[in-house]
Amino acid sequence: MNKPLIALLTTVLHATTSYLGQEDPLRTLYQEWKQKYETRYTSQFEDEYRFEIFKQNYNYYQEVNSRQSNYTLGINQFATLTDEEFESIYLIFLLLRLMNLLLHLIFLNLLIGHQKLIQLRTKVHVDQAGHSQPLVLLKPFSSLLREHIS
C-alpha cells in the first residue's frame, strides 16, 4: 500500500480515537443521566439530538462554575432541554399556577367581602327604647380566613 495513504489513515484513525476517547466520559454521563431520570427517546436521531444539547448544557455548566463562586450549576432533570424548551414548558406552567393562585385569592377576597356584608346586615342591636342599630363586630382577617378555608 502507498506510504502517504497509510500515514493519512493512521492519522485519521488516531484523531478519531482521540475524539471518541474525549467524548466517551460525556456519553457515559449522558447514559447515567438517562437511567437516573428514566428517560427514553423514540428514535436514535432524537437521542443524538438530546445528547448534543446535554453536551452544550454540560459545557455551559462547567464554564459558569469555573468563574462563579456564589453558586454552582449542575446536571438535573432539565439537562437535555434547550432554554426555549424549558421556558415554553416550565415557565408557562409556573405562570398558569400563579394565575390560578391569584384567582383563588380574588375569589377568597370576594367571599370574605360578601360574608362581611352578610354579617353587617344580619347583626342588629336593639336598645332598650326599641331602636335597632347595626352592630359591627370586627374580626381579625386571619380568623375570617380560617372560617372560610375550613
pLDDT at 73 over 60: yes
Check residue 27 and give its pLDDT: 94
132 bridge partner residues:
126
| Greater model confidence, 86 or 138 | 86
If you average pLDDT over each of 98-102, 105-109, 129-133, 138-142, which comes out highest? 98-102
More confident residue, 49 or 128: 49
**Cα dihedral value 104, 110, 112, 116, nearest 10:** 180
Q: Which residue has the higher pLDDT, 148 or 48?
A: 48
Residue 57 CB coordination number (10 Å): 19
In the prediction, which pLDDT does 100 show?
A: 82
Enter the pTM of the model.
0.50
Distance from C-alpha of 62 to C-alpha of 38, rounded to nearest angstrom: 24
Percent of the chain residues past pLDDT 90, beyond the cut: 36
| 11-26 residue pLDDT tens | 655 556 555 555 579 9
pLDDT at 26: 94
Residue 144 has which C-alpha cell? Answer: 375570617
The residues, ordered by sequence, that sit 6+ positions from 136 with a Cβ below 8 Å of its Cβ are 120, 123
CA-closest candidate to residue 109, choices 62, 66, 71, 141: 141
**Paired strand residues for 124:** 134
User: What CATH architecture applies to the domain 1-81?
Assistant: Orthogonal Bundle (1.10)
> Distance between CA 72 and CA 113 in Å, rounded?
47
Q: What are phi and psi of 59, to 5 degrees?
A: -65, -40
148: how many CB neighbours lie within 10 A of its CB? Answer: 12
- Mean pLDDT of the residues in the chain: 76
Average pLDDT over residues 68-78: 89
In the chain, what are the domain boundaries? 1-81
